């Protein structure tokens, strides 16, 4: 299975190549910290903190904050959604050997509930902001046992799309790293401050873009934009369209029903939709499509922040 | 050769006393001590064997002045130079016949048990007719057989002197003759000096000399004269 | 063999029954106090070592001894449970790492220890074959447990029902053995380790949904409702978590409210340990104990009992020795004739004395040898036997 490793900068690649193993590749677009990595390399006396994460945003936060003090692993293959990925027992063994395991919380990556993971290494990064959790639109109802029917309330889990929650999550990552290596707390604090600044700036850009969308009904190709919508007061409902598939009749009829209820003119996509779908949406329903990538898994080009900035850029462009 | 000179012996706390001015027994001869109970026959035998020490006087046996030896040396002398046969056989019940015959080689470090000694024990056993009893225990034997084992034990070291104390006292007439035949055949063939205490007058003609302790007493300690072996 | 020694041997062999009785009596009277002492020392050392390797134990209020015996030695008396949230509470103090333990179920006689991967680090346990449990329904076995249950990696073990009349309807769980641990010479060798969540599944707190779609399982449900637990050949008598159904497995309610029998707290340092104990001092809902203190109290009792037993053994031993002495003296008197004979035919006093003394010397030597051997055996196998007898 293809494994993706996230490494910061060429200097760090040189120092860590031995641990990273075969088939790892540095994530493009992470050059920004390469200088600081070079600067702090001499300060790295101990082995890097081994951090395993369940999605790309957390991996990227950990790398930004940890720099040369951390070695971050995200074993999810590039073509899978980390939220629904299932590791092999061997991959779980690797997680068990980590110094820190960063979880997203809000029910993200359900496999972690069924795996044997060391609680003392587990960091639920949304634990402190759990009151902000949003209930997902659909629920699974079933019956078993003497207690009869009950609901499994599922939570929306793309928490980081609200940059204020992303800051909270990054803050948890920083705290965990400080606990793991108090000696490097100054480095973690300053890197976190920089990251926080970027996220606050992103929040401002998104706020600005969203202002003009106030009151406009919007569609999500998938129910992943709940936290984005909540943060910026977007009137957003979701359908179930896959970017790389032609939607079936059920998906179209679901869309039709929604459009009759509240005609939307904009649809956010996780990735670039197929051209014919884009055309059909535009011509039949007057819905324009734009890509707003949740960036749950590691991108092939660019990094988390640049992709989020591009998201904001596209959103602003759309509303001009 | 046994020589006694000016021998005096008394048991403590007893009025028994034995006093002998002189007594000589030639090497290779057979001598019987006879006399009533309490006349000192066995005491004299024990003095000759060095089991008892005289108050005064000397005992010379086979050229060794036994009375001058230390206790340790007398025991070593006794186990190598003297064979002893007792009325009660005095075999060890927990040993086999063969081990009983070899006993002298196991109770004093001066004797070393060599393989040829074991062979000699077997030869002696064959000679007295108990070859098939070597693995038995004494209590599985008849009285006569037991005394034959005791005789073998007494002569296993090929001693120059054999002292027997009533050797036939516990035997029936038939066994008595067998044991005596064995004894006398042996001492004749081996040239051993035999001194035997007995009160069985029927066997006296087998001996070359007889010392009668009755007359010996009459001659007594005061007479100073030698005891003449009566024939 | 020297002459007198040979004679002594022949004597003992001839009186073999007397000898055997003497040797047996003396061996036992020597072994009982020595063996007991070795056994108690060794067991106490093992128990103490284990207790000292377990810094702090958080449990529900109740007998500290029961808590320690269950948590450290997997004793069969299950203490009152506390909620899993207490583990988080320990972690929240920032003073110690919590390791939950749920030691309630068994696979036949082997304890199922529900815990988290930190436990293996704390105890320094390594897999000799396979790997540690990765998911629900997987188990790793102590070396002795694997031997006793006669299972290897890739095979399965089934949890035993807590009682024959388990009307709560909790099905045994069939678990896949993913690894076997290297022997550690501790109670861990006897255990079947699973994730604490797997132990909760055995307790009926979590389940999958495959049973609704499986007719044979539905039959099981029916028979349970009819209170017919045994006798239906079609009934599936156990649950199993497989790669097909694991995604549907879930727990009802807040895991923080789920039971554990204890939480091992591994403080960061001595100061953290003191602070943590201070925090729990006033608590009425949980107790915190130092296993080494609890064990030393318990062992104090054991040592007191041992002293009484030793005192008793000493008295019996003196009586036995006196009897043996009498036997030897009688024997010496009985052999007076033999001594005189040997003396008369020229036996050396040394040889005769040795022969007479060798009876007692040989008997004593053999008795000491046997007692030593028994002690050695006791020290090698006794402590596990003692543990088995004590049910720990």
Task: Based on DSSP, count helices (H) and strands (E) in chain A, helices before strands.
Answer: 11, 13
Task: Tell me if chain B has a CB within 8 Å of the CB of C355.
Answer: yes
Per-position DSSP letters for A20-58, written without gaps between them: H-TT--PPTT-GGGHHHHHHHHTT--SPPEEEEESSHHH
Q: How many angstroms separate the CA atoms of A284 and A262, rounded?
A: 15
Chains B and A touch (3+ CB pairs under 8 A): no
Question: Neighbours of C (≥3 Cβ pairs closer than 8 A)?
Answer: A, B
Q: Is residue C15 part of a domain?
A: yes
Report CA torsion sign: B134, B137, B142, B148: positive
Looking at residue B62, what is its pLDDT? 83
Query: Under an 8 A CB cutoff, do A116 and C91 touch?
Result: no
Q: Which of A123, A108, A110, A220 is nearest to A168 (CA)?
A: A123
Where does residue A45 rank: exposed (0-12), middle (13-18), buried (19+ CB within 10 A)? exposed
Higher pLDDT, C169 or C186: C186
Chain C residues with CB under 8 Å of A110 CB are: 247
In terms of domains, do C82 and C224 share one?
yes
Backbone angles phi, psi at A128, to 5 degrees: -75, -20
Overall size of chain B counted in residues = 231
Query: Under an 8 A CB cutoff, do A150 and C118 touch?
Result: no
Where does residue C146 rank: exposed (0-12), middle (13-18), buried (19+ CB within 10 A)? buried
In terms of domains, do C145 and C69 share one?
yes
In terms of domains, do A142 and A272 share one?
no
In terms of domains, do A103 and A224 share one?
no
- The total number of structural domains in chain C stands at 2
Q: How many angstroms separate the CA atoms of C101 and C116, rounded?
A: 8
At A204, list the tokens: 């401002």
Q: Which of A42, A49, A48, A7 is nearest to A28 (CA)?
A: A7
Strand segments (E) across C52-164: 56-59, 82-83, 96-107, 110-115, 127-130, 138-141, 156-158
In terms of domains, do C321 and C363 share one?
yes
Chain A residues with CB under 8 Å of C212 CB are: 142, 144
Q: Between B and C, how many CB-CB pairs are < 8 A?
A: 74
* Tens digit of pLDDT at every position of chain A (320 positions): 444 444 333 333 333 333 333 333 434 433 334 333 333 444 446 789 999 999 999 999 999 998 888 999 999 888 888 888 889 888 999 999 899 999 998 888 888 888 899 988 888 999 888 888 888 765 444 444 444 444 445 888 899 999 999 999 999 999 999 988 999 899 999 999 999 999 999 999 999 888 888 888 898 988 889 899 889 888 888 888 888 888 888 888 888 888 888 888 889 998 888 888 889 888 888 888 999 999 888 888 888 999 999 998 888 887 66
pLDDT in tens, C37-59: 888 888 888 888 888 888 899 98
Contacts of residues C59-65 at CB distance under 8 Å and 24 or more positions apart, as own/partner, are: C59/C261, C59/C262, C59/C263, C59/C286, C59/C287, C59/C289, C60/C285, C60/C286, C60/C287, C61/C284, C61/C285, C61/C286, C61/C287, C62/C287, C64/C287, C64/C289, C64/C294, C65/C294, C65/C297, C65/C298
Domain boundary among the residues C289, C323, C343 is at C289
The SS3 assignment for C376 reads helix
Q: How many angstroms separate the CA atoms of A14 and B17, rounded?
A: 119
At A205, list the tokens: 């850009």
Q: How many angstroms separate the CA atoms of C62 and C287, rounded?
A: 8
Looking at residue A213, what is its pLDDT? 84
pLDDT in tens, B55-100: 888 888 888 888 888 888 888 888 888 888 888 888 889 999 889 8
Overall average pLDDT of the C118-145 stretch: 90
What domain range includes position A197? 4-203
Q: Which of A282, A278, A292 is nearest to A246 (CA)?
A: A278
Per-position DSSP letters for B7-67, written without gaps between them: EEEE-TTS--EEEEEEEEE-TT-EEEEE--TTSSHHHHHHHHHTSS--SEEEEEETTEEGG
Looking at residue B216, what is its pLDDT? 58
β-pair type (A140-143, A134-135):
unpaired
Q: Is residue C294 part of a domain?
A: no
Looking at residue A138, what is its pLDDT? 54
Looking at residue B231, what is its pLDDT? 33
Confidence of residue C383 (pLDDT cuts 50, 70, 90): low
**At a CB cut-off of 8 Å and minimum separation 6, what does A142 contact?**
A149, A150, A152, C209, C212
Q: How many CB atoms lie within 10 A of CB A148?
A: 7
Question: Of the given ranges (B138-152, C52-66, C163-177), which has the lowest mean pLDDT?
Answer: C163-177
Task: Tell me if chain B has a CB within 8 Å of the CB of C6.
Answer: yes
Report CA torsion sign: A244, A250, A252, A255: negative
Task: Tell me if chain B has a CB within 8 Å of the CB of C378.
Answer: no
In terms of domains, do A14 and A143 share one?
yes
CB A219 within 8 A of CB A238: yes
In terms of domains, do C203 and C283 share one?
yes
Q: How many angstroms separate the CA atoms of C392 and C383, rounded?
A: 11
pLDDT in tens, C331-373: 889 889 888 888 888 888 888 888 888 888 888 899 999 999 9
Confidence of residue C32 (pLDDT cuts 50, 70, 90): confident
pLDDT in tens, B120-144: 888 888 888 888 888 899 898 888 8
Cα A303 to its chain centre, rounded Å, is 12
In terms of domains, do A160 and A269 share one?
no
Question: Which residue of chain A is at minimal alpha-carbon distance from C178?
Answer: A89
Torsion of CA A217, A221, A222, A227, to 10 degrees: -40
Instruction: Identify the DSSP state of A115.
Output: B
CB C327 within 8 A of CB C54: no
What domain range includes position C261? 56-289
C-alpha distance from residue C265 to each of B91, C93, C279 (Å): 80, 11, 13
Task: Tell me if chain C has a CB within 8 Å of the CB of B213.
Answer: no
Query: Under an 8 A CB cutoff, do C7 and B82 touch?
Result: no
Q: How many angstroms separate the CA atoms of C113 and C261, rounded?
A: 10
In terms of domains, do A86 and A156 share one?
yes
Domain boundary among the residues A203, A235, A266 is at A203
Query: Under an 8 A CB cutoff, do A119 and C135 touch?
Result: no
Q: Which of C220, C229, C221, C262 is nearest to C101 (CA)?
A: C262
In terms of domains, do C195 and C134 share one?
yes
pLDDT in tens, C227-245: 333 333 344 567 788 777 7
In terms of domains, do A231 and A262 share one?
yes
Percentage above 90 pLDDT, chain C? 18
Strand segments (E) across chain A: 4-6, 49-53, 70-74, 100-103, 122-124, 134-135, 140-143, 149-152, 155-156, 217-220, 235-238, 266-269, 288-291
Q: How many angstroms separate the CA atoms of C15 and C8, rounded?
A: 11
pLDDT in tens, B22-45: 888 888 888 888 888 878 888 888
Task: Tell me if chain A has a CB within 8 Å of the CB of C132.
Answer: yes
**At a CB cut-off of 8 Å and minimum separation 6, what does A311 contact?**
A206, A291, A292, A293
For A65-97, give one letter per residue: b (16+ CB within 10 A) or e: bbbbbbbbbbbbeeeeebbebbbebebbbbbbe
Looking at residue A139, what is its pLDDT? 43
Is the pLDDT score of B224 beyond 90? Answer: no
Q: To the nearest whole angstrom, how far is the Cα of C51 from the nearest Cα of chain B?
A: 59
Looking at residue A141, what is its pLDDT? 42
CB A270 within 8 A of CB A314: no
CB C171 within 8 A of CB C239: yes
C-alpha distance from residue C67 to each of A253, C73, C74 (Å): 61, 10, 10
Chain B residues with CB under 8 Å of C359 CB are: none
For an interface test with A, the pick among C93, C116, C134, C254 (most A C-beta atoms closer than 10 Å) comes out as C134
Query: Under an 8 A CB cutoff, do C342 and B107 touch?
Result: yes
Nearest to B107 among C10, C11, C352 (CB): C352
Chain C residues with CB under 8 Å of A152 CB are: 250
Q: To the nearest whole angstrom, how far is the Cα of B218 from the nearest Cα of chain C?
A: 30
Query: Under an 8 A CB cutoff, do A96 and C250 touch?
Result: no
Q: To the nearest whole angstrom, how far is the Cα of A319 from the nearest Cα of chain C?
A: 42
Task: Tell me if chain C has a CB within 8 Å of the CB of B109.
Answer: yes
In terms of domains, do A283 and A199 share one?
no
pLDDT in tens, C176-215: 999 999 998 888 999 999 999 898 888 888 766 544 434 4
Q: How many CB atoms lie within 10 A of CB A202?
A: 18
Question: Which residue of chain B is at minimal alpha-carbon distance from C13?
Answer: B94
Looking at residue B229, what is its pLDDT? 40
pLDDT in tens, B195-211: 999 888 888 888 888 88
Percentage above 70 pLDDT, chain B? 93
**At a CB cut-off of 8 Å and minimum separation 6, what does C344 contact?**
B49, B51, B84, B86, B90
Half-sphere exposure of residue C185: CA atoms within 13 angstroms, side-chain side? 8
Looking at residue C179, what is its pLDDT? 92
Chain C residues with CB under 8 Å of A144 CB are: 207, 209, 211-212
Looking at residue C164, what is its pLDDT? 56
Q: Which of A294, A304, A296, A297 is nearest to A30 (CA)?
A: A304
Chain A residues with CB under 8 Å of C198 CB are: 116
**At a CB cut-off of 8 Å and minimum separation 6, what does C317 contact?**
C29, C30, C32, C33
Instruction: Identify the DSSP state of A274.
Output: P
Query: Under an 8 A CB cutoff, do B107 and C338 touch?
Result: no
For B170-209, give one letter per residue: b (16+ CB within 10 A) or e: bbeeebbbbbbebbbebbeeeebbbbbbbbbeebeebbeb
Instruction: Identify the DSSP state of B174.
Output: H
Q: Is residue C14 part of a domain?
A: yes
Residue matched to tokens 């050695």? C376
Q: Which of A203, A201, A171 is nearest to A189 (CA)?
A: A171
In terms of domains, do C285 and C143 share one?
yes
CB B162 within 8 A of CB B155: yes
Q: How many angstroms separate the CA atoms of A161 and A232, rounded?
A: 11
Q: How many CB atoms lie within 10 A of CB C315?
A: 10
The ipTM estimated for the assembled molecules is 0.85
Q: Which CATH superfamily groups domain B2-223?
A: P-loop containing nucleotide triphosphate hydrolases (3.40.50.300)
Is the pLDDT score of C224 beyond 50? Answer: no
Query: Under an 8 A CB cutoff, do A89 and C135 touch?
Result: yes
- The total number of structural domains in chain A stands at 2
In terms of domains, do A219 and A277 share one?
yes
**At a CB cut-off of 8 Å and minimum separation 6, what does B14 contact?**
none
The CATH number of the domain holding residue A242 is: 3.40.50.1980
Task: Tell me if chain C has a CB within 8 Å of the CB of B122.
Answer: no
User: What is the overall mean pLDDT for chain C?
Assistant: 83
Q: To the nearest whole angstrom, how far is the Cα of A170 from the nearest Cα of chain C?
A: 19
């Amino acid at each position: 299975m293809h494994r993706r490793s996230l490494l910061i900068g060429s200097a760090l690649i040189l120092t860590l190549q031995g641990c990273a193993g075969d088939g790892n590749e540095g994530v493009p677009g992470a050059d920004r910290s390469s200088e600081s990595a070079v600067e702090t390399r001499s300060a790295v006396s101990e082995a890097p903190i081994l951090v395993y994460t369940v999605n790309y945003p957390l991996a990227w936060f950990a790398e930004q904050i940890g720099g040369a003090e951390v070695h971050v692993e995200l074993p999810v293959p590039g073509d899978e959604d980390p939220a629904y990925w299932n590791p092999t027992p061997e991959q779980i063994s690797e997680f068990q050997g980590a110094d820190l395991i960063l979880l997203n919380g809000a029910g993200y990556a359900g496999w972690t509930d069924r795996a044997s993971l060391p609680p003392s290494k587990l960091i639920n990064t949304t634990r402190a902001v759990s009151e902000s959790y949003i209930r997902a639109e659909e629920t699974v109802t079933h019956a078993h046992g003497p207690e009869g029917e009950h609901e499994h309330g599922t939570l929306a889990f793309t928490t980081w799309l609200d940059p204020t929650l992303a800051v909270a999550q990054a803050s948890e990552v920083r705290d965990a790293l400080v606990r793991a290596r108090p000696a490097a707390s100054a480095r973690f604090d300053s890197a976190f401050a920089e990251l926080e600044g970027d996220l606050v700036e992103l929040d401002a850009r998104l706020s600005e873009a969203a202002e003009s969308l106030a009151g406009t009904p919007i569609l999500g190709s998938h129910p992943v934009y709940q936290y984005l919508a909540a943060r910026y007061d977007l009137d957003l409902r979701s359908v179930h369209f896959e970017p790389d598939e032609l939607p079936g009749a059920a998906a179209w009829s679901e869309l039709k029903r929604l459009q009759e209820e509240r005609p939307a003119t904009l649809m956010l996509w996780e990735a670039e939709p197929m051209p014919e779908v884009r055309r059909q949406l535009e011509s039949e329903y007057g819905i324009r499509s734009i890509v707003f990538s949740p960036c749950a898994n590691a991108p092939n080009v660019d990094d988390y922040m640049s992709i989020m900035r591009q998201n904001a850029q596209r959103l602003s462009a759309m509303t001009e | 050769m046994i020589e006694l000179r000016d021998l005096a012996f008394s048991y403590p706390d007893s009025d028994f006393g034995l006093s002998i001015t002189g007594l000589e027994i030639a090497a290779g001869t057979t001598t019987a001590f006879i006399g009533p109970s309490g006349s000192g026959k066995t005491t004299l035998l024990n003095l000759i064997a060095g089991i008892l020490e005289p108050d005064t006087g000397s005992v010379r046996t086979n050229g060794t002045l036994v009375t001058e030896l230390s206790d340790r040396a007398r025991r070593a002398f006794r186990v190598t130079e003297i064979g002893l046969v007792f009325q009660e056989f005095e075999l060890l019940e927990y040993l086999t016949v063969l081990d009983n015959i070899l006993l002298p080689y196991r109770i004093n470090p001066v004797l070393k048990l060599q393989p040829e000694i074991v062979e000699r024990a077997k030869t002696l056993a064959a000679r007295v007719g108990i070859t098939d009893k070597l693995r038995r225990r004494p209590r599985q034997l008849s009285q006569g057989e037991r005394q034959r084992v005791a005789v073998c034990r007494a002569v296993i070291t090929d001693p120059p002197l054999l002292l027997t104390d009533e050797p036939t006292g516990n035997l029936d007439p038939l066994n008595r003759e067998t044991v005596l035949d064995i004894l006398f055949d042996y001492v004749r063939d081996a040239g051993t000096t035999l001194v035997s205490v007995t009160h069985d007058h029927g066997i006296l003609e087998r001996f070359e000399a007889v010392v009668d302790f009755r007359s010996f007493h009459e001659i007594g300690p005061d007479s100073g004269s030698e005891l003449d072996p009566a024939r | 063999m020297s002459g007198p020694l040979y004679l002594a041997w022949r004597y003992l062999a001839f009186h073999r029954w007397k000898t055997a009785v003497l040797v047996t009596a003396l061996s036992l009277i020597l072994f009982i106090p020595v063996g007991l002492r070795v056994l108690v020392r060794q067991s106490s050392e093992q128990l103490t070592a284990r207790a000292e390797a377990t810094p702090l134990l958080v449990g529900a209020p109740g007998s500290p001894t029961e808590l320690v015996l269950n948590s450290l030695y997997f004793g069969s008396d299950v203490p009152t449970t506390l909620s899993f949230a207490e583990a988080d509470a320990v972690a929240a103090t920032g003073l110690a790492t919590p390791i939950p333990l749920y030691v309630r179920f068994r696979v036949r006689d082997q304890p199922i220890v529900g815990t988290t991967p930190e436990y293996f680090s704390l105890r320094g346990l390594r897999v000799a074959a396979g790997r540690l449990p990765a998911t629900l329904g997987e188990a790793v076995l102590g070396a002795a447990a694997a031997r006793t249950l006669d299972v290897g990696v890739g095979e399965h073990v089934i949890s035993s029902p807590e009682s024959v009349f388990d009307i709560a309807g909790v099905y045994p769980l069939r678990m896949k053995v993913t690894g076997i641990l290297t022997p550690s010479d501790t109670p861990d060798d006897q255990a079947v380790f699973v994730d604490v969540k797997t132990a909760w599944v055995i307790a009926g707190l979590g389940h999958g949904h495959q049973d609704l779609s499986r007719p044979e399982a539905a039959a099981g449900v029916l028979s349970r409702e009819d209170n017919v637990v045994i006798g239906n050949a079609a009934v599936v008598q156990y649950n199993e978590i497989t790669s097909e159904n694991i995604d549907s497995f879930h727990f009802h309610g807040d895991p923080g409210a789920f039971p554990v029998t204890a939480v091992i707290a591994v403080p960061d340092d001595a100061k953290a340990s003191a602070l943590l104990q201070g925090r729990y001092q006033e608590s009425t809902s949980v107790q915190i104990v130092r296993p080494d203190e609890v064990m030393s109290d318990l062992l104090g009792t054991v040592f007191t009992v041992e002293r009484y037993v030793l005192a008793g053994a000493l008295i019996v031993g003196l009586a036995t020795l006196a009897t043996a002495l009498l036997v030897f003296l009688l024997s010496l008197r009985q052999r007076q004739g033999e001594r005189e004979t040997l003396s008369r035919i020229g036996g050396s006093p040394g040889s005769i004395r040795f022969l007479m003394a060798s009876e007692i010397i040989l008997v004593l030597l053999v008795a000491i040898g046997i007692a030593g051997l028994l002690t050695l055996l006791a020290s090698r196998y006794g402590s596990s036997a003692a543990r088995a007898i004590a049910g720990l």
